[in-house]
Amino acid sequence: MILREKQLKIMKEKESKKVKTVEELSNFPFKSFQEFRKANFEGVAQPGIDRGVALNWAQSGIYSPWILRSQTIFLMLLPYIAALGFIVWAIVSKTWLMLLALPVLLIAFFIFHPSSAVMFGPIRSLLIGLSFAGLVYAFISSKPSLLALCLTLVVIWYAEKTIYRKAVNYLTKAVCEHEDLLCILWQGRALNIMFFNGNRYWADWK
pLDDT digits (tens, 9 = 90+) for 82-132: 889 999 988 988 888 888 889 999 899 889 888 888 788 888 999 999 999
Highest mean pLDDT out of 13-17, 21-25, 53-57, 86-90 = 86-90
Residue type, 7: Q
Q: What is the mean pLDDT of residues 150-173?
A: 90
Give which of 155, 149, 156 is closest to 100, Cα–Cα: 149
The mean pLDDT of the chain is 84
Q: How far lies 112's CA from each of 41, 115, 152, 168, 171, in Å?
A: 32, 8, 12, 17, 22
pLDDT band, residue 17 (cuts 50/70/90): low
Sign of CA dihedral 186, 187, 190, 196: positive
Residue 134 has pLDDT above 90, yes or no: yes
What own/partner pairs with CB < 8 Å and gap ≥ 24 does 170-174 have? 170/54, 170/58, 170/63, 170/64, 170/65, 170/68, 171/49, 171/53, 171/54, 171/57, 171/58, 171/63, 171/64, 172/46, 172/47, 172/49, 172/54, 174/63, 174/64
Report the DSSP beta bridge partners of residue 49. 191
**CA angle, residues 105, 108, 114, in degrees to nearest 5:** 145
pLDDT band, residue 62 (cuts 50/70/90): confident
Over pLDDT 70: what percentage of the chain? 90
| Gap between the terminal Cα atoms of the chain | 47
Q: In what order do the strands lie in the sheet with 200-201?
A: 45-49, 191-195, 200-201
As a whole number of angstroms, the distance between CA 203 and CA 206 comes to 8
